[in-house]
């Protein structure tokens, strides 16, 4: 089961209601055979932009991040269910990228003068295989007995 | 008079017997074999340190939940993301930062059109008016 992060924003509500809401949200995950590894509370804070959902405009939200392991098929189902939930203002699901060993910094190569940069050298090489349309001259001895372009 | 003097000098110089110094130099100690005296095979001590971008140097992986860090790459006037020639990041890190910023904005952690006013006094990682490459803004 791949790892997902559910970034949820709940509407402003008292703590007891929030508790039941979180229970409802997590129960939906458990029902589909998912596992919750962690629930992060980022706090109640004003949103950077107002959001309207379920016929109400919200300017503050309770921010939560659920770290979940669940089947890929279940994710769309969960999103659909959460979108119907009146208490959820906004929800985003991101797949967690597996920790790949970070490659070395290429800043040194990028700071070189253009002629020494690999990508520029590649471009020059490609450019040399193309016909330069600024210097291209039509040859009249090409077998055609008429000039094919507009004069 | 001067001409006479120089002529006389040259005549005397060429005809007087001189001491011939031999090319061999004499030592009181034994001469070392040439192998000991060869230059040591060491790394270039003047080699410059490899340049690294700030995120690679500190080994930081940009994350959309760390929106305070991400907001440092955002313009305080327009909320737009600064380019690579201003931030001084390597290509991969710049791409990651841009992707994570758009994620954070989508999650309503970060505003689109301005920078969060609580982060305005954060330390500057780079100087936008002094870019690596010149630009027209």
> Is A61 within 8 Å of chain B by CB?
yes
> Is A12 within 8 Å of chain B by CB?
no
Task: Say if the Cβ atoms of A103 and B92 lie within 8 Å.
Answer: yes
Q: How many CB atoms lie within 10 A of CB A19?
A: 11
Confidence tier at B20 by pLDDT (50, 70, 90): low
CA distance B76 to B128: 11
* pLDDT of res. B12: 53
Q: Which residue has the tokens 């700030």?
A: B54
| Mean pLDDT across B28-51 | 81
A76-86 confidence digits (pLDDT tens) = 999 999 999 99
* pLDDT of res. B33: 63
CA distance A2 to A71: 7
Partners of residue B117 in chain A, C-beta under 8 Å: none
Pick the closest to residue A65 from A47, A91, A45 (CA basis). A91
Joined tokens for residue B27 = 């030592």
Q: Which domains does chain A have, with CATH numbers?
A: 3-95 (3.30.70.60)
B72-101 confidence digits (pLDDT tens) = 999 999 999 999 999 999 999 999 999 999
Which of B50, B92, B108 is opposite residue A47, by nearest beta carbon? Answer: B108
Highest mean pLDDT among A101-115, A133-147, B10-24: A101-115
Confidence tier at A150 by pLDDT (50, 70, 90): confident
Partners of residue A7 in chain B, C-beta under 8 Å: 64, 107
Find out whether A64 and B109 touch, Cβ atoms under 8 Å: no
Which pairing describes strands A88-95 and A35-53: parallel, antiparallel, or unpaired?
unpaired
């Amino acid at each position: 089961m791949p790892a997902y992060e559910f970034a949820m924003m709940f509407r402003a509500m008292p703590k007891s209601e929030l508790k039941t809401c979180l229970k409802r949200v997590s129960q939906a995950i458990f029902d589909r055979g998912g596992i919750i590894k962690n629930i992060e509370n980022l706090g109640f804070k004003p949103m950077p932009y107002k959001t309207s959902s379920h016929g109400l405009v919200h300017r503050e939200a309770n921010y939560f991040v659920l770290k979940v392991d669940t089947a890929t098929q279940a994710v769309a189902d969960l999103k659909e269910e959460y979108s119907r939930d009146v208490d959820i203002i906004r929800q985003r699901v991101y797949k967690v990228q597996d920790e790949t060993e970070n490659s070395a910094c290429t800043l040194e190569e990028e700071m070189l003068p253009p002629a020494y940069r690999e990508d520029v050298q590649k471009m020059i090489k490609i450019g040399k295989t193309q016909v330069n349309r600024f210097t291209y001259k039509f040859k009249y001895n090409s077998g055609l007995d008429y000039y094919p372009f507009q004069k | 008079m001067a001409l006479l003097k120089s002529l006389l000098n040259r005549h005397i110089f060429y005809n007087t017997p001189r001491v011939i110094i031999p090319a061999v130099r004499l030592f009181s100690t034994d001469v070392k074999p040439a192998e000991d005296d060869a230059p040591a095979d060491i790394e270039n001590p003047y080699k410059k340190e490899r340049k690294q971008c700030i995120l690679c140097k500190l080994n930081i992986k940009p994350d959309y939940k760390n929106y305070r860090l991400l907001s440092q790459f955002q313009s305080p006037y327009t909320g737009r993301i600064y380019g690579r020639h201003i931030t001084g990041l390597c290509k991969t890190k710049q791409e990651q930062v841009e992707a994570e910023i758009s994620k954070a904005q989508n999650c309503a952690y970060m505003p689109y059109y301005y920078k969060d006013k609580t982060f305005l006094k954060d330390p500057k990682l780079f100087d936008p008016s002094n870019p690596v490459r010149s630009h027209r803004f």
